[in-house]
Amino acid sequence: MECVIATGTCHAVFAYEVGHLIDLERAERRLAAVAERQKVKQKRRAPAYFEYRPAPLRVTQEIEPVEVAAYRTAGTVELVLYDFGAISVSFGISIAGPLSGLPALSQALYGNAPLAAAARRQVEQLLATLGDAVVRSRLADFVEDYSIFAIQAFSGPVEAAALSTEHAATVAQILRAEPRQLSQQEIADATATRVSYGPADATFIDADAALVFDPEGEDVEAVLEFANTQLLEMRFLDQQLDDALDAAYVMLARRKEGHGPGLERVIELQVDAAMLFEQVTNALKLIGEQYLTRVYGLVSRRFHLAEWDHSITRKLDTLESIYAKLTDRAAARRMELLEWIIILLIALSIIIAILPLRHG
């Protein structure tokens, strides 16, 4: 039986690293006419401690629709500003129609250069408006993109469980951006990460896309968007630490190196990375809202965030160790220099004492 979507939206999400941090209060004042604070709605029965710290700022801007395969984006785009210096851009695409048409859209969205360029232009325009609300503005070269296929309702009766049984092949094609038929093994792997709150909803999470069948799935979509932004920041941090380690290894290999500009740069990168790491990992408090915590845990595993976390922690520890060796070396040189100065002063005092005797 043909499965037809009555109401649904695909969110094509692009995350960018834009600066050291964003002063959300100042940004909100500059964008007061179009911005509103985003909060996770407590629509489910759970404690009220699942919140962003601080709440990101959501901005809606009008755009020229972008053609994507047989679809086109809406006339507006949403940008979410996070205080740790990242902006997430989300294009909305209406996906009303047969479910079997979505694999082609998913493939068209995968690495879509025109849409990524449009997202980057939106970020550049917003940065120009924000000005000094972004501290140490730096629009990174790379981007982290993700597709969220949000289905609110089907035109006919479709059980959520059917998406993982009779429609599993189509769901897998959507998640893997693959219009061709997949093997049973690939279908099982693509649809393995599934979470449901009740019998009438289901969320499938994969590395590059997610399918959310839920009439009230806004919070799930917000968590997925945040996780995608967090992955971007982890990648950016990892790259920054690689650069810092390269510079530190070069300094460590030199025989003569003191507290010069090179060491100061290493220290600055170390502090910046440590601060950003703490901001990103603590931006979303995962206590209380059990269902969204499960969603975040599953998407974290799909994104391998724990591995990124371990890699960054290890590199921070290595950088700390190198910094300690460099400072110990510099301290040893200062002590050696001080010892030579003392020896010269003693020798000079002896010479001064001897000279009058010889003169007499």
Question: pLDDT tens digits for 92-146?
Answer: 999 999 999 999 999 999 989 999 999 999 999 999 999 999 998 989 888 999 9
Nearest to 257 by CA among 159, 342, 157, 325: 325
Nearest to 204 by CA among 181, 172, 226, 179: 172
- Helix or strand (DSSP H, E) at 334: helix 305-359
**Residue linked to tokens 């220099």:** 337
Q: How far is CA 277 from the centre of its chain?
A: 11
> DSSP state, 86?
E
15 and 160, same structural domain?
yes
Beta-bridge partners for 90: 13, 78
- Helix or strand (DSSP H, E) at 323: helix 305-359
Instruction: Specify the higher pLDDT residue, 255 or 273.
Output: 273
Q: Please give the pLDDT value at position 42.
A: 40
What gap in Å lies between CA 114 and CA 101, rounded to an integer?
21
From 198, 217, 236, give the residue that closes a domain.
217
Q: With cut-offs at 50, 70 and 90, classify the pLDDT of residue 183.
A: very high
309 and 236, same structural domain?
yes
Q: Which domain holds residue 306?
A: 228-343
- For residue 179, give the amino acid letter: P
From 182, 217, 252, give the residue that closes a domain.
217
What gap in Å lies between CA 148 and CA 106, rounded to an integer?
10
From 217, 250, 280, give the residue that closes a domain.
217
